[in-house]
Amino acid sequence: MASQISQQYAFRAQKSLGLVGGTPNYNPVPGFVSPDVAARSYTYSADGRLYAYTLPTVVRIFQAEGAILLRELTIPNVVELNFSPRGTYLSTWERPVKLEDGSQHKNLRVFSTSTGEELVSFGQKSQDGWDLQYTISESHAVRLVGADIQVYRPAEWSKGMVDKLRVEGATSIALSPGLNPSIAVFVAEKKGAPASIKIYGLLTLNSPPTCQKNFYKADRAQIKWNTLGTQVLLLTQTEVDNSNKSYYGETGLYLLSSAGNFDCRVTLDKEGPIHDFNWSPNSKEFAVVYGYMPAKSVIFDHRVRSLHDFGSSPHNFVSFNPQGRLIALAGFGNLAGKIDVFDRRSLTKVTTIDAPNTSYCEWSPDGRFLLTATLSPRLRVDNGIKIWHCSGPLVHFQTAEELYQTSWRPTPVEHVAQFGQGIPLSPAPSEAVRNMEAEKKPVAPKPAGAYRPPGARGLATPAIFKREDEGGAARTPTNGTATPLRGYNRSPAPGAPANGNANGNGRRHVPGAAPPSHSPSPGPEGEKKSSRKRNKGAKKDGEEKGKKDAGDADNGRPSLDVPVNGKANGKVNVEAVTPPPQINVEASPTTPTLDSALDPAAKKIRNLNKKLKAIEELKEKAKRGERLEATQLKKMEGEADIRKELASLGA
């Protein structure tokens, strides 16, 4: 397993070193030596200059260009590692353990990438948000410890904290990019007190917040700044949805300006959770995917005005390419893995990519390619990566026994070729793709769409079974109550039969049977009329005792001579028993009547006609392109014999 994982790391390195904006290079990187044991994790610096991975006993730092080993840090059991924005510092995190002397385990360490010297260390229990957050110039670094926001100057680690702010109840922070950095602090809802988000200027940390907003229904939050650091989006979520509309709790989205001149809740016009949201690289608009499936996807501007609605589709992922020219909308996880690529300028669909079982998706730095991967342990089969051109075709793929992590090598904007005015032509596919296409065998087309029972094939799909994006009715939350059975509506529509019965008498009509005879109207008056009719018929029967059997047969209510209280002459008249509805079978050339049901020739004709009807249905299936079994084809070949036999019987 170790060798397999080491090969995957060599592939990741060489994938990222292709010419940005040119044709990708799929050959192994010269000089890269695969590790001899399983690697735990890897990372690139934000400028793509450095690359590092961690092994059980050592951390290795490389120069990404040429895969040159710079130095090794002898640190055991490192789980996470991360570079500062300019690659000056490398942070590592180990699982906290109890030391024998009782002192605190300093499991978060910061090293100089140029010298390998350990500069500072901290105790950090949680793996979530474990690393320090740096400004883009690396002038300051911040971390959250309990309710305290601690500020350091990386150039002067030895001096300790240079500033500190205490925010009671703070659970997460996010440092903005840009030249005038701000800190967004989220305080969760607790003991009836509302949740809040507060924004502080980094250089004026102890001054009042420049912007803040209070709200309820927020146990945790996800914070995303735009590229300029002028506005922030906050996605809030509760553990439990008190309205019982969602299993995953309630979500809300808020937009705040770091200057304090704008804040509001993003109003969404469809009920359901918020699946994903992302800023455009231009920092002036963002996209949100929300609502019960099929979800809606909408682009908003920086004042939360709707710019474009992509409609309802099974999507739960949205991503702008680095140039903001293309938008990828996809459905991953328990969805089919379809990726719809749209042109932002014309808002038209460029292509649809079929990438099932995708657990990771990322745009290339030049915005021309999409990397999709199936990773372990999310999925333990079909692990590997695929690279797609933005116009749709697959240009490369590589499988792996177990793949845990993958990414493009980051590249500064000034080193990226311009995207161009039109969609670029697709490059030639790699040798792996050409071999795969050559090995493909022609396969008979399979019927598209979901399974439909034989009786419903060839017919239009009822609207009740259609998704909303296919023309069906919108989903209506049931608030936790059971959905009423179809055909047993509590309040039928005006003019519709009650309980699915055309008579409205509460009895369900059997499909295929003749309509039952009209019965007296329900209620006391109807029961009296029915009783009078029965008494009148019984009186006539008494007058014609000699014709008892005939009279009983005419009334449809036979009288039974049974012993009553030991007497053989007691009579019980079954008045209350309602006879079953009589099914009228009309005679036809192909269907024998009840009188001729015992005729062997008629039975034979009926069976042969059934076979002909089945053969006609098979012919219709073949015309629709459905695949038939061998037994069905053989049945169709016997049509001539059946017709010959029918002719011999005189049918």
pLDDT of amino acid 591: 43
Residue 403 tokens read as 């793949």
In SS3 terms, 92-131 reads as EEECCCCCCCCCCCCCEEEEECCCCCEEEEECCCCCCCCC
The residues of the chain scoring below 50 in pLDDT are 1-20, 419-423, 479-506, 518-522, 545-578, 580-597
Count the Cβ atoms, other than its own, within 10 Å of residue 95: 12
Antiparallel, parallel or unpaired: β 394-399 and 274-279: unpaired
Q: What is the pLDDT of residue 418?
A: 54
Q: Where in the chain is the domain with CATH 2.40.10.480?
A: 35-131
Q: What is the pLDDT of residues 293-304, one digit of tens each?
A: 899 999 999 999
Predicted structure pTM score: 0.67
Task: Using alpha carbons, select from 92, 56, 107, 59 the residue that is nearest to residue 77.
Answer: 56
CA distance 457 to 625: 12
Q: Please, what's the b/e burial string for 381-393 (b: 16 or more CB within 10 A of its CB; e: otherwise)?
A: eebbbbbbbbebe
The class (CATH top level) of 35-131 is mainly beta
How far apart (Å, rounded) are the C-alpha atoms in residues 611 and 114? 85
- Widest CA span in the chain: 123
Pairing of strands 384-389, 285-290: unpaired
Q: Which of 359, 269, 356 is nearest to 312 (CA)?
A: 269
Please give the Cα distance from 220 to 236 (Å, whole number).
6
